[in-house]
């Protein structure tokens, strides 16, 4: 084998700690880029029902919506600002919008 073939063989077939670390990082990035449903917790405070929205990965708080009034305060983005997780709001189509 010449030096080129040796180098190519190492790149393609030898596993080392650096490659394993890169593979772990790629797996984490792929997981973060896969949309996850936003966590919804229904709570009752002072006689009013609220839905509390948080990130499924890091529990970052996006806001709430009061189901018994028109009060609404929800940050509805496609990604979590804290950890970068892609978010799926499909089941919460009215969150952060006026009815």
Ranges under pLDDT 50 in the chain: 93-99
pLDDT of residue 58: 95
pLDDT of residue 96: 44
pLDDT of residue 39: 93
pTM of the complete model beyond 0.75? no
pLDDT of residue 68: 65
Phi, psi (degrees; rounded to nearest 5) at 6: -65, -45
CA 65-80-59 angle, to 5 degrees, is 65
């Amino acid at each position: 084998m010449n030096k080129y073939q040796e180098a190519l063989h190492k790149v393609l077939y030898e596993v080392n700690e650096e490659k394993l670390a890169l593979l772990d990082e790629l797996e984490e990035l792929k997981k973060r880029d896969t949309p996850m449903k936003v966590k919804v917790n229904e709570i009752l405070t002072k006689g009013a029902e609220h839905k509390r929205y948080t990130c499924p990965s890091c529990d970052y708080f996006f806001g709430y919506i009061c189901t018994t009034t028109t009060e609404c305060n929800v940050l509805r983005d496609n990604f979590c600002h804290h950890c970068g997780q892609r978010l799926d709001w499909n089941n919460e189509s009215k969150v952060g919008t006026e009815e």
